[in-house]
Chains A and B, each alone.
Chain A
Amino acid sequence: MSKWQTLQTRSFLESTARQRAQGLVDEGSFTELVGPTERFISPHLPELGEAVEFDDGVVTGIGLLGKHPAIVISQEGRFIGGAVGEVGGAKMVGALKLAQSIYEKLQAENPAEVQARRPIVLISFETGGVRLHEANAGLLAHAEVMDQIQNLRHKVPVVSVVGSKIGCFGGMGFVAAATDVIVMSEFSRIGLTGPEVIEQEMGRAEFDASDRALVFRTTGGKHKYIMGDCNYLVPDSIAAFRQQAIAIAALPMDAIENLRRIGSRSAIERQMQLVAMAAEVSPTDAKDMWKAIGNENPQQLIDANYTDFMAQAKRLTPAA
């Protein structure tokens, strides 16, 4: 078995950012850009006596999904919790700009081939958001990434891939929400404010951050899938995420637009309906919402394996 084939069988959750990036695209097609040997380390961390990493915690590169160039951004949670600083943020922005220039070149030179060969962006999130050690630069990076995602709208699908241990929190939670498509595994999470901060601000009675089961059924993949906050739930393997990415790359751009959860009049209407529903149910636990959506036995769904869950779970607004 080749190294790439071995990667396919690996747990996405257990893999490093680089393994995820290499495994998400076709065998042998990955080229890392601004990789570790370029040594773009954070200029801020050494001042604070904090350990540095040669890639500043973000792997960027390009590969192929069939005929589609796939621009990959992959965050590494084990380095300072995947927090986004100046260099890592700039690498994210640069990768998104590359996607745009590839698209524009294709559009200009070979417009007939756009559907078949347009690029796709895969962002594998593993982060709590801004790196506090370099907060201003990190925040700025968040804004620039959002900007770039808007520039790619209707042109290049931007896909959030969330299957990591830390998941996607803080400012990057907003960024994920702004992408076209979200793919998750049940072992990963998306949220804005992290569980510990909610507990600190609202009290343990409101949210017990040490209760991981509670944290996961509030922010985890299964909940996001039922609530329509993520489009696809896949098993925890690199191959499963890759298969989903291939399927998304093949979709026409208007179908991609339909997968968006925010950012259009119809999406806003759906959100308002959800707000009204939540007000009516006044849930004290995610399970209350699952029930209101038509899932008779939420606990059983929580414990169900992937196949059973997919067969049984009823969703709020199944996206196209």
Chain B
Amino acid sequence: MALTQLKYEFSPATPRALPVPAVHFGVVGSGDMEVIIENKDLGGKAVATVVTPVTGFDHVWEMVLRRFMDECQLGNVAISINDNNATPVVVSLRLRQALLEIEG
């Protein structure tokens, strides 16, 4: 009955810095999630932590996050996610929206 914590590490080919110290987006509603992306000196790498009540989707999380990281090429960032049964499409959407939050 505890929450699952998943950790992933990514090494972007051409690491790009987050233009703000941190950005937060999303609400942990049912089938939804929130994310904080923040600058952190990780020697160019990116780390992601997911806290979720769901088990058995470790591989899917990794793939969804990898696809996002491949697209955005962020380096030196820590990504923290609180999840409540978000589907992969919602996860991808919220991650993209978090970045749009900075631009908007």
In the complex they form, whether A and B have CB atoms below 8 Å apart is answered with yes
Which residues on A are within 8 Å of B, measured CB to CB? 3, 16-17, 35-37, 39, 41, 45-54, 76, 78-79
Inter-subunit contact A36/B2 (CB<8 Å): no
| B32 at the A interface (CB under 8 A) | yes
What 4 A-B pairs come out closest when comparing CB atoms? A78-B29, A51-B84, A49-B1, A53-B28
| B66 at the A interface (CB under 8 A) | no
B32 proximity list for chain A (CB < 8 A): 78
A52 proximity list for chain B (CB < 8 A): 3, 28, 51, 82
| B104 at the A interface (CB under 8 A) | yes
**CB within 8 Å for A47 and B1 given contacts A35-B24, A37-B22, A54-B82:** yes
Task: List 13 extra interface pairs beyond A36-B24, A79-B29, CB under 8 A.
Answer: A16-B27, A35-B24, A36-B36, A37-B22, A45-B3, A49-B1, A49-B3, A50-B53, A51-B85, A52-B3, A53-B28, A54-B34, A79-B27
How far is B29's CA from A39's CA once the two chains are assembled, in angstroms? 17
Inter-subunit contact B38/A37 (CB<8 Å): yes
How far is B36's CA from A54's CA once the two chains are assembled, in angstroms? 9
Chain B residue with the shortest CB-CB distance to A56: B28
Chain B CB count within 10 A is highest, among A16, A48, A53, A76, for A53
How far is B53's CA from A48's CA once the two chains are assembled, in angstroms? 9
How far is B85's CA from A47's CA once the two chains are assembled, in angstroms? 18
Interface SS, A side: loop
Closest chain B CB from A134 CB (angstroms): 15
How far is B16's CA from A215's CA once the two chains are assembled, in angstroms? 52
Inter-subunit contact B28/A79 (CB<8 Å): yes
A41 proximity list for chain B (CB < 8 A): 82
B80 proximity list for chain A (CB < 8 A): 39, 54
**CB within 8 Å for A36 and B1 given contacts A51-B53, A51-B83, A51-B84:** no
Which residues on B are within 8 Å of A, measured CB to CB? 1-3, 22, 24, 27-30, 32, 34, 36, 38, 51-53, 80, 82-85, 104
B85 proximity list for chain A (CB < 8 A): 51
11 contacts between A and B (CB under 8 A): A35-B24, A37-B38, A46-B3, A46-B51, A48-B1, A51-B53, A52-B51, A78-B27, A78-B30, A79-B27, A79-B28
How far is B2's CA from A48's CA once the two chains are assembled, in angstroms? 6
Chain B residue with the shortest CB-CB distance to A80: B28
Inter-subunit contact A37/B52 (CB<8 Å): no
Chain A residue with the shortest CB-CB distance to B21: A37
Chain A CB count within 10 A is highest, among B2, B22, B34, B104, for B34
Chain B residue with the shortest CB-CB distance to A41: B82
A50 proximity list for chain B (CB < 8 A): 3, 53
Chain B residue with the shortest CB-CB distance to A17: B27
Q: Which of A3, A17, A37 is close to B36, meaning CB atoms less than 8 Å apart?
A: A37
A51 proximity list for chain B (CB < 8 A): 3, 28, 51-53, 82-85
How far is B83's CA from A45's CA once the two chains are assembled, in angstroms? 13
How far is B82's CA from A39's CA once the two chains are assembled, in angstroms? 11
B1 proximity list for chain A (CB < 8 A): 47-49
A79 proximity list for chain B (CB < 8 A): 27-29
Chain B residue with the shortest CB-CB distance to A48: B1
A35 proximity list for chain B (CB < 8 A): 24
Inter-subunit contact B82/A3 (CB<8 Å): no
Closest chain A CB from B103 CB (angstroms): 10
Inter-subunit contact A54/B24 (CB<8 Å): yes
Closest chain A CB from B62 CB (angstroms): 20
Closest chain A CB from B47 CB (angstroms): 15
A78 proximity list for chain B (CB < 8 A): 27-30, 32
Closest chain A CB from B102 CB (angstroms): 11
How far is B83's CA from A37's CA once the two chains are assembled, in angstroms? 16
Chain A residue with the shortest CB-CB distance to B28: A53
How far is B29's CA from A127's CA once the two chains are assembled, in angstroms? 14
Inter-subunit contact A49/B24 (CB<8 Å): no
